[in-house]
Amino acid sequence: VLAALGSQVPADALLASLVVYRAIYYVLPLVIAILLVTATELHRLKSSPLASGAARTAGRLAPTLLAALALVLGAMLVLSSVTPTPGDNLDLLAGFLPLPVVEGAHFLASILGLMLVIVARGLAQRLDGAWWGALVIALLALALSLAKAVAIYEAALLAILVLALLPSRRLFHRKASLGQALTSSWLLAVAILIGGAIVVLLFVYRDVEYSHALWWQFAFDAEAPRSLRAMLGLTVLTMGICLFSLMRPAAPAIRPADGEELAKAVAILDRNDVADANLVRTGDKSVMVSPDGEAFLMYGRQGRSLIAFLDPIGPKSSRDELVWQFVEKARASGCRAVFYQASPAILPVIADAGMKAFKLGEMAVVDLERFDLKGGKWAGLRQTAAKGERDGLTFEIIPTDCIAPILDDLRQISNAWLDHHQAKEKGFSLGAFTDAYMTAQPVAILRHEGRIVAFANLLLTDTREEASIDLMRFAPDAPKGAMDFLFVRLMTTLRDQGYRHFNLGMAPLSGLSRREVAPVWDRVANTFYEHGERFYNFKGLRAFKSKFHPDWQPRYLAVAGGLNPVLALLDATLLIGGGLKGVVKK
């Protein structure tokens, strides 16, 4: 081709044409084929379990990573506003932009940097308003970073943030509250950033003698005055944010749920499967209802701990929102958020909220469909049932409308049981004997020679997925093994009524890791479990529940790290015992 056309067409143009021809004829089809094959394989991989797992993991990590990137870029914008711009960049700007535009871009970019730092907190909490704020701020800051100093690297990093935000919109589904104030830790972080910026400003311009005239000098090469004005804007904005956060009205005192709130909670729990949710009926806990009215969470306060009991009750989407709502309420009240007896189902959202789970023990749940007194496995319970019948014990479930006539008999047994065990009524995660609580659900009783000698109040929901009990008390003269007999007869009756599981409650500190590399929490808890019988019958409780061959399900204490787990557990113990005196008195 060169030999034939070399005399008619310049060699460089001819060579360029040949290269373009080869690229169109060979390279372009190859690139298109590669893209099509890659797209096909990615579409096929998308439906695989591995891809689904990776997508879920990315969905959990993305808000945290985006928040960290926004925080770093915000700090970068703040610090760049107090450092000089390269002279070549200023000369380039002088030929394209008027001085007021450069001055304004420098000042506004510093303000946007501080705003991006604050928005980062909302990104970590998956707030929809934070996503919009970060996107708008990043786009504006990208343009201003070019206008103030032709800062290519800053603009590139801000572009990366924008590109990362765009496909992650669906992850930020929580409604933002414009009235949220920064917590003390975030206020401290902002103060440290501004303090660091002041130190950098003083160090960079240490050779510039200060005078009042610096504030009014406007020129392309007037770097120190430009940085001073940016620092003043940052300081004023920071003071305004701090004043807004510190002067907000104090969080209202935690009060027990009123009648209307309890009615909403009871209506929700009846539609769900968690029998222990009936402990909301005690009336000693506060109630938080999800915005859609489909879920609720019960909680109390002790010291600086806001403690939620169990998971939020309701569908998953509403549960997750309540976890965030509760954490924000705790922070606004100056408290640590704690989840007591949290199940594995809410551990992912707890981790997203910045909390860590510490195993408390294991819940014993009996599968009633497999509960049968036939065979060698159930020989012990079969003998218990036979012995109770020989002793003349009779079992009966009293419906709610028939409890009032026997309430005084039940109260006498309850008082005698408390006196015999030198104990007092508990609260929070345990019920107390009150007329309203005892008549809210059916009661299982044992009679001996026509007299009531033992009882247990039932916890039931309309779904019949699970049943449980709370107060279990017996008279001092009740036949030995009476409570075992009550459990056997109760489970048999509930099974026949269509209930699928029976919750025997938690065995504290059981089932924790005993490996040498186990966390300190587990090792300390195992020490208490092995040597703390003087204070609590850990092993005896586990052995009693094991007789019914339950499935053991882990339960956790969820709280932030550091010393918080120890303090949270102490506060939860005090809340259940009714204060230090109640704990000491059992």
pLDDT digits (tens, 9 = 90+) for 204-216: 777 777 776 776 7
> For all residues of the chain together, what is the average pLDDT?
82
Domain layout of the chain by residue ranges:
2-47, 58-246, 364-554
How confident is the model at residue 443, as a pLDDT?
95
Q: Where are the beta strands (DSSP E) in 426-541?
A: 443-448, 451-460, 466-474, 501-508
Q: Can you say whether the dihedral through the CA atoms of 576, 582, 584, 586 is positive or negative? A: negative
3-state secondary structure of 531: helix
Q: Which of 82-91, 125-134, 311-320 has the lowest mean pLDDT?
A: 82-91
Please choose, from the candidates 512, 501, 435, 433, the residue with its C-alpha nearest in 3D space to the C-alpha of residue 468. Answer: 501
Q: Does residue 538 or residue 335 have the better pLDDT?
A: 335
The share of the chain scoring above pLDDT 90, in percent, equals 29
569 vs 555: CA distance, rounded Å: 13
CATH code given to domain 364-554: 3.40.630.30
Give the Å distances, CA to CA, from 200 to 194, 224, 567. Answer: 10, 12, 39
Q: Does residue 214 or residue 402 have the better pLDDT?
A: 402
End-to-end Cα distance, the chain: 101
pLDDT band (50, 70, 90) for residue 538: confident
How confident is the model at residue 554, as a pLDDT?
93
3-state secondary structure of 533: coil
Strand partners, 364: 505, 552
How confident is the model at residue 89, as a pLDDT?
73
Q: Does residue 169 or residue 50 have the better pLDDT?
A: 169
What would the pLDDT profile of 341-398 be if each residue is shown by its tens digit? Answer: 999 999 988 988 888 898 988 999 999 998 888 877 888 888 888 898 898 999 999 9
How confident is the model at residue 270, as a pLDDT?
93
What would the pLDDT profile of 489-513 be if each residue is shown by its tens digit? Answer: 999 999 999 999 999 998 888 877 7
What would the pLDDT profile of 31-47 be if each residue is shown by its tens digit? Answer: 677 667 666 765 665 56
386 vs 481: CA distance, rounded Å: 11
3-state secondary structure of 454: strand
Please report which helix (H) or strand (E) contains residue 31, including its range: helix 28-46
Q: Does residue 238 or residue 477 have the better pLDDT?
A: 477
What would the pLDDT profile of 450-461 be if each residue is shown by its tens digit? Answer: 899 999 999 999
Q: Which of 129-133, 178-182, 291-295, 410-414 has maximum average pLDDT? A: 410-414
Mean pLDDT score, 281-289: 92
Q: Can you say whether the dihedral through the CA atoms of 108, 114, 117, 122 is positive or negative? A: negative
Residue 283 pLDDT exceeds 60: yes
What would the pLDDT profile of 175-184 be if each residue is shown by its tens digit? Answer: 665 455 666 6
How confident is the model at residue 408, as a pLDDT?
93
